[in-house]
């Protein structure tokens, strides 16, 4: 069933055409304007008498919605309010969050989205996106045909197995694709009429969810490896059949599945894993910016990554490929990495080591160099110039470790990237205190400014939210066929350049929310240019113009009967 179509009228202006009339129009968020329907639209769409008489404009609606938002005190209630608005009137939702972006970003995205995912079954009110359950494996075509947006160009998809730092959240993982797409639209300017959030419900191994009588997903342990691979293959084939060249963004899969899916599909379609590639892009941007501020470069840096899962290994891979691009040999690049996971420092004879971890494991011959393989033990021996946390182990960068590090290395770069806030390896304030401020810091979740040395310290966020909206905008604007390492490196450079030349602070190495839209556009220009130069774009023409023309701002289009 096609509920509506966005098209151009004879004057070349965009309108929304629908065959629906009356109440159903007010229940479809892409169509609903609420009190902003004009008298003419009310008459032609069967809405007379269904709305209060006064016709409002979008600004007036935003004002009321903001007052309603402010009536809630708990962040989770604010999140629920915004979700309901999103599912009621999409244009109003985007106009509101764009106007109050700094205040609302942490509510719709990290950290509050983590709470909303955990609360999913309890707080479920209205539905959005597609729920693709393994139980429906024989009905996948029908499910994908049942979408509301017909012209899908961007899909964010999760199986809820590795959500933020909170692990397996089953069907509740749907909150993440929805939140990512909100950022794609609010920051990246991708029209919400072209997006689709998808959750793959393949069971859950989270016993709390399985025991919860309100749990809304499939009450079944996660399916086995063979069933899973078969299911993914079927899903991809349906997506290809239904949406032809849609860009697929994989989000919050467990590390093993994230890597295998990316490896399997990255050369076959335009696909991107945010936890691996997006995180790599922002981490490299932060490192490049810190090194620029230090007057140094990547050669000879000692990079220690604590938590070698999807994000940690993704960062290592992106840095590694970037070093190769800069002319390092594979061995030279590899020698600059040390990875620690649950077993301690990873060696090539470590137990339970994955293939991607093995790429960065140290030779077993180096074992005698270390008294202990713990974070502290490794810091003392290798004296890392760059320390990255992707473990979701709160407080693991202890004061003692930080103090020792600062005494061994001049201005180390410290990136506690774990989310949500309470999972951060250290708070920025604790890092400044322990190192006497002789550091470059950026965090995964937002932290408030704090006072240090008589100055307010503002810490930027090293979050993939500063990468994926611009990458997606570029991909959709030029209809990119693939995402290449060169395109990702261009994204890192664009973020770094913007931050180093920013007008807010000469301490920042990563962006702050005020920069979001401009950074997304800079990233999009750089990535789109690279796609065109490398013959990866499906559209020819000036990539900058293509990006600018695509950029969507929330405003009402006339709704007409089709």
Name the minimum Å distance from CB 95 to ligand NAD. 27
Shortest CB 219 distance to ligand NAD, Å = 24
489 is catalytic: no
Q: Which is nearer to ligand NAD, 160 or 309 (CB)?
A: 309
Cα–Cα distance measured from residue 428 to residue 90, given in angstroms and rounded to the nearest whole number: 36
Per the residue annotation, which of 180, 521, 529, 530 is the catalytic one? 180
Task: Select 75 or 167, whichever has its Cβ closest to ligand NAD.
Answer: 167
| Contact indicator for 338, 384 with CB cutoff of 8 Å | yes
Going by C-alpha positions, the residue among 293, 533, 499, 528 that lies closest to residue 413 is 293
Q: Are 140 and 132 in contact (CB under 8 A)?
A: yes
Which residue lies nearest ligand NAD, judged by its C-beta? 309
What are the residue ranges of helices labelled H in 310-414? 310-325, 330-334, 355-358, 375-382, 399-408
Between residues 311 and 413, which has the closer beta carbon with respect to ligand NAD? 311
Between CA 458 and CA 561 the distance in angstroms is 51
Report the C-alpha gap between 288 and 339 in whole angstroms: 20
Q: Report helix, strand or coil for 304.
A: strand
> Residues 6 or more apart from 503 whose CB is under 8 A from it?
none
Dist. CA 324–CA 333, nearest whole Å: 7
CB of 275 to ligand NAD, least distance (A): 4
| In contact, 84 and 126? CB cutoff 8 Å | yes
Nearer to ligand NAD, 88 or 374 (CB): 374
Name the strand (E) or helix (H) holding 487: helix 485-500
Given the rule CB under 6 A, which residues bind ligand NAD?
A: 162, 164-165, 255, 275, 279, 282, 306-312, 340-342, 390-393, 417-419, 423, 444, 462-464
Query: Quick one: 390 or 475, whose CB is closer to ligand NAD?
Result: 390
Closer of 232 and 283 to ligand NAD (Cβ): 283
Q: Which two tokens stand for residue 435?
A: 């190192």
Q: Give me the least distance between CB of 391 and ligand NAD, in Å please.
A: 4
**556 counts as catalytic:** no
Closest CA relative to residue 185, chosen from 170, 172, 196 = 196
What DSSP designation does 276 have?
Answer: I
The catalytic residue among 94, 109, 228, 243 is: 109
Q: How far is the CB of 447 from ligand NAD (least distance, A)?
A: 12
Residue 394: CB minimum distance to ligand NAD, A: 9
Catalytic residues: 109, 180
């Amino acid at each position: 069933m096609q509920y509506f179509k966005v098209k151009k009228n004879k004057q070349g202006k965009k309108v929304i055409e629908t065959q629906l009339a009356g109440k159903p129009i007010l229940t479809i968020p892409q169509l609903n304007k609420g009190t902003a329907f004009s008298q003419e639209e009310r008459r032609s769409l069967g809405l007379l008498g269904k709305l209060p008489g006064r016709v409002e404009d979008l600004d007036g609606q935003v004002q009321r919605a903001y007052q309603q938002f402010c009536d809630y005190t708990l962040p989770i209630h604010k999140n629920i309010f915004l979700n309901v608005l999103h599912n009621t009137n999409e244009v109003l939702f985007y106009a509101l969050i764009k106007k109050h972006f700094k205040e609302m970003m942490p509510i719709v995205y990290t950290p509050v989205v983590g709470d909303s995912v955990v609360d999913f079954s309890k707080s479920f009110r209205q539905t959005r996106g597609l729920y693709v359950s393994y139980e429906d494996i024989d009905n996948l075509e029908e499910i994908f045909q049942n979408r509301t947006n017909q012209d899908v160009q961007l899909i964010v998809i999760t199986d809820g197995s590795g959500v933020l730092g909170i692990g397996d959240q089953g069907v509740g993982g749907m909150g993440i694709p929805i939140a990512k797409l909100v950022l794609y639209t609010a920051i990246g300017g991708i029209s919400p009429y072209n997006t689709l959030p998808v959750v793959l419900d393949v069971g859950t191994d989270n016993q709390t969810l399985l025991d919860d009588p309100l749990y809304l997903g499939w009450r079944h342990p996660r399916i086995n490896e063979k069933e899973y691979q078969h299911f993914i293959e079927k899903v991809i084939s349906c997506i290809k059949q239904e949406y032809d060249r849609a860009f697929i963004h994989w989000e919050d899969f467990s590390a093993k599945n994230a890597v295998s899916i990316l490896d399997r599909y990255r050369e076959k379609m335009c696909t991107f894993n945010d936890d691996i590639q997006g995180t790599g892009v922002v981490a490299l941007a932060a490192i490049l910016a810190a090194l620029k501020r230090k007057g140094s470069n990547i050669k000879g840096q000692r990079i220690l990554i604590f938590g070698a899962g999807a994000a940690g290994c993704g960062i290592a891979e992106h840095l590694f490929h970037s070093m190769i691009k800069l002319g390092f040999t594979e061995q030279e690049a590899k020698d600059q990495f040390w990875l620690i996971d649950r077993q301690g420092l990873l060696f090539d004879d470590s137990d339970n080591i994955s293939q991607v971890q093995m790429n960065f494991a140290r030779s077993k011959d180096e074992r005698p160099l270390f008294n202990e393989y713990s974070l502290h033990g490794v810091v003392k021996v290798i004296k890392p110039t760059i320390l990255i946390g992707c473990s979701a182990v709160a407080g693991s960068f202890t004061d003692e470790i930080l103090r020792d590090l600062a005494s061994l290395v001049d201005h180390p770069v410290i990136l506690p990237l774990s989310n949500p806030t309470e999972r951060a390896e250290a708070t920025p304030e604790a890092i400044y205190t322990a190192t006497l401020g002789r550091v470059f810091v950026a965090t995964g979740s937002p932290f408030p400014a704090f006072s240090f040395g008589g100055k307010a310290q503002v810490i930027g966020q090293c979050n993939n939210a500063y990468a994926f909206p611009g990458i997606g905008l570029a991909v959709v604007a030029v209809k990119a066929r693939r995402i290449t390492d060169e395109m990702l490196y261009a994204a890192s450079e664009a973020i770094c350049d913007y931050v180093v030349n920013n007008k807010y602070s000469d301490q920042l190495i990563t962006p702050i929310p005020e920069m979001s839209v401009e950074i997304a556009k800079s990233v999009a220009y750089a990535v789109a240019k690279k796609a065109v130069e490398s013959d990866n774009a499906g559209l020819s023409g000036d990539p900058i113009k293509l990006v600018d023309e695509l950029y969507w701002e929330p405003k009402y289009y006339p709704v007409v009967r089709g």
